Chains A and B, each alone.
Chain A
């Protein structure tokens, strides 16, 4: 090889390497500079992990068409979809100013939540060329901080970066940090009953305030029901329309709020409430013999107008014990045991006393 050719070859290789390096770095740095926290293809995401500085964490995983929380509960699909929609829309409003840099960094370090998104990715994803798909790839990881002073932006920083940004959603008034909650209770589906009529074997309603209104309904064939008094077991004729209305109400009964076990003050309150006699005890047995039990408790308070104790007419406590559709390592169905806040507005549909179901003839 001639000396001239050697020199040319060396120059050629150096230029190509530098150009490629710059192109790659520039591409990483500049590609969608305003969207460094957003994920365009949210359908590729199948796992989200969030953890805060107090070590509260939540793991959301896609299980077919459902999302699960910590591999143990069904997630509220709507809320996960909201989170994903938000992640797709996140845009950089501005870099954090140098004057507030230290403050924001320390806030992120003390109050930030780390969020990781995993899903379908590619080993090679460069300039729109995507090759060699891989599963469970870390798509994005960043820290979510508090809101800005104007409450219209949220501080965020990419993992491994030293540059925080104010992130917002165009057209959205507010900040997004509450969407990245690490409380598993906030992610769980609020289902109490989710049964169609054919899936119900029997339903028992015990009214401790008016024991004569207690009853049992048996469902042999989804068309003809057997209504019996409880505990006497005397069959009584029923009003068909009201019966069907009651039995179809089990399709979608949800609670309003789940009391988190992390709140120690609430745990003490729950324990004290559980010691009192429930107002109602509802027991639904499905076709597989699995039992859902709901015990309701009134929310008592002192009414100064009546000068007596009274209970809240909007809300009630409930202890829900229901099969979760998740099994342990031995294949046994796991039961959820939750203390929740319910609203009469939705729960009244299944709090039907006997005298309402009886036939008026």
Chain B
């Protein structure tokens, strides 16, 4: 009896001890990263960022609540682990999980949801299994980050159209570090680089890129500049003695948003010298002029060459914009009135092959894991081999593309005919290209020697290492306007299909990259291997693996018991 009690006491004490050790261990955060891709190790860029934080960063994660699907639970756990990693690195990082569905009654919940949506978090509709069956649940797979009275949203779930949910989740987990550190950087960034939007060559009105400008303003100090032939429009000119000057770029990057008029040579010279001094440029130049506005009133419109006088300049730098249009079977659908019933217009959606939807396939950090990008009337961008210039295709059409030569008539009649897939036999036509390296000046050997050697102009025939991105569609930065009140919508949001495309992220990455924030972008290029179970293999031999998992551990224990009893027998029989 006494012996039995002693055994029981030992078992209970052992259990308490194990529980206590586990409790202790759970509060002391440490881990060793044994994964091949070092998925649990922060990148140097993130660690540098965290080192600079000297005040509380408070992260409120909305990804919580009962009955969350397994995939979201995984995202939640990964987020927690990532933030634990952040907090282990900097004590000022704090986080909390909040369930917005538990703020009060249904009115309070709706008000909280509205507030979150207004703050920029996108809700996700889910069907969750409950004890009584299944119910519809709205969740916000995102977080709000506060720092010194400022707050910004972070979308943790990176939706990607046409991507399997496991891959979307994996990409979201892969992007966690980037998204969180990027948001923290946005909040803590006190110095903003200067970016200029170059105006004065036609193109669309400013209100068409309100959303683009707002997005840029979060990171950069955005100015509108009219060059007007002024040498000092893009540069600060400091005199160096009596007869020479030093010119320094005012802006880290400039954007040329869809000119429709020809640029004067003087302005081109100013831009060229800006590049030679190391300035970065985002060219949004359309070689073909055609708009949907004309098709609002007439079933046909003309696609003609858009003479911007930039072809020679871009050619010198290493690209040619072809005066053609790309038609693509992977495209956006547009609404069309097909008739009327009872005086009400009947609206149907038709795929409009002139509006390709581009799925970024490149692994370059600018476009890695980006959502699909919506475009309107895009043109091919051809690479021109130039010494010391590296070309990277950022965006290209799908494998079902076709070239539409211009000038020609673009007709809505195309919508009534099913596209012949056999004709869409061109694949992966580049539409956006990154150029990096040292560029030759357009004006090298083209200006008189006295002007070239004039120290008051400080002419540079070749550039220092720099970069530029050429995109053949300026509509990519345009925002639509809400049908009811004309309010500008988010850039990349299509109100007709209610889809949010990846346009904002693409241009943000482009600007981050051009403005030397590539250390942050490097975080994006991390690769986490997707280790998804082979569904077909599971279906074929699930029983085998279940039995292996059940029987082998039991057999090992039995075998151990047998060996132990044999040893005892052997020992005590002596």
Contacts and interface: CB of A to CB of B under 8 A. Distances in A.
Given A16-B16, A171-B111, A172-B111, A95 B149 contact: no
Interface string A168-203: 011110000000000000000000000000000000
Nearest to A94: B146
B78 interface: no
Contacts of B56: 94-98
Interface stretch (B97-105, B364-372, B480-488): B97-105
B564 interface: no
Contact of A22 (B27, B58, B96): B27
Contact of A89 (B55, B96, B108): B108
B349 interface: no
A89 B58 contact: no
Contacts of B114: 171
B23 interface: yes
Interface in A75-112: 85, 88-89, 91-100
Interface in B2-23: 13, 16-17, 19-21, 23
A12 interface: yes
B112 interface: yes
Given A98-B55, A99-B55, A170-B103, A92 B111 contact: no
Contacts of B104: 85, 88-89
A171 B94 CA distance: 22
Contacts of B55: 97-99
A239 to B, nearest CB: 44
B21 to A, nearest CB: 6
A113 to B, nearest CB: 22
B98 A171 contact: no
Contacts of B108: 89, 170-171
Contacts of B113: 171
Interface in B101-154: 103-104, 108-116, 146-149, 151
Nearest to B104: A89
Contacts of A149: 149
Given A12-B13, A88-B104, A98-B54, A93 B146 contact: yes
B153 to A, nearest CB: 14
B96 A19 contact: no
Given A171-B103, A171-B114, A92 B96 contact: yes
Interface string A18-39: 1110110010000001100000
A95 B23 contact: no
A222 interface: no
At the interface, is chain B mostly helix, strand, loop or mixed?
helix
B550 interface: no
Contacts of A100: 148-149
Contacts of A93: 58, 146, 151
B60 interface: yes
Interface string B235-271: 0000000000000000000000000000000000000
B3 to A, nearest CB: 16
B24 interface: yes
A93 B103 CA distance: 13
Contact of B149 (A16, A34, A150, A170): A150
Nearest to A15: B20
B27 A97 contact: no
A267 B146 CA distance: 47
Contacts of B110: 171
Contact of A26 (B21, B27, B58): B27
Contacts of B54: 98
A278 B382 CA distance: 93
Contacts of B21: 15, 19
A41 interface: no
Contacts of A166: 149
How many chain A residues sit at the interface, stated as a range, is: 20 to 34
A94 B144 CA distance: 10
Contacts of A97: 55-56, 147-149
Contacts of A235: none
A224 interface: no
Contacts of A85: 104
B58 A95 contact: yes
Contacts of B147: 94, 97
A267 B94 CA distance: 51
A359 interface: no
Contact of A171 (B58, B60, B96, B115): B115
A95 B146 CA distance: 9
A11 to B, nearest CB: 9
A148 interface: yes
A94 B100 CA distance: 16
A34 B24 contact: no
A150 B94 CA distance: 22
Contact of A19 (B23, B58, B151): B23
B103 A91 contact: yes
A19 B103 contact: no
Contacts of A170: 98, 100, 103, 108, 111-112, 115-116
A100 B111 CA distance: 29
Contact of B20 (A19, A148, A172): A19
Interface string A230-255: 00000000000000000000000000
B261 to A, nearest CB: 43
Contacts of A172: 111
A224 to B, nearest CB: 48
Contacts of A88: 104
B50 to A, nearest CB: 16
A292 to B, nearest CB: 38
A94 B112 contact: no
Contacts of A26: 27
Nearest to A148: B149
A99 B115 contact: no
Contacts of B111: 170-172
Given A33-B96, A89-B103, A19 B24 contact: yes
A134 to B, nearest CB: 27
Contacts of A15: 17, 20-21, 24
A16 B18 CA distance: 10
A12 B27 contact: no
Nearest to B113: A171
A148 to B, nearest CB: 7
B17 to A, nearest CB: 6
Nearest to A32: B96
Given A15-B24, A91-B98, A97-B148, A34 B17 contact: no
Contacts of B112: 170-171
Interface string B17-53: 1011101100100000000000000000000000000
Contacts of A95: 56, 58, 94
Nearest to A168: B115
A151 to B, nearest CB: 12
Interface string A126-151: 00000000000000000000001110
A195 to B, nearest CB: 34
B103 A34 contact: no
Nearest to B109: A171
A94 B108 CA distance: 20
Contact of B23 (A23, A94, A98): A23
B455 to A, nearest CB: 48
A96 B147 CA distance: 9
B149 A22 contact: no
A26 B58 CA distance: 18
A19 B54 CA distance: 31
B149 A18 contact: no
Given A22-B24, A95-B58, A148-B149, 4 more contacts: A19-B19, A85-B104, A94-B151, A171-B114
8 contacts: A16-B17, A18-B24, A26-B27, A94-B151, A95-B94, A99-B55, A170-B112, A171-B108
Closest 3 CB pairs of A and B: A171-B111, A94-B146, A171-B112
Interface of A: 12, 15-16, 18-20, 22-23, 26, 33-34, 85, 88-89, 91-100, 148-150, 166, 169-172
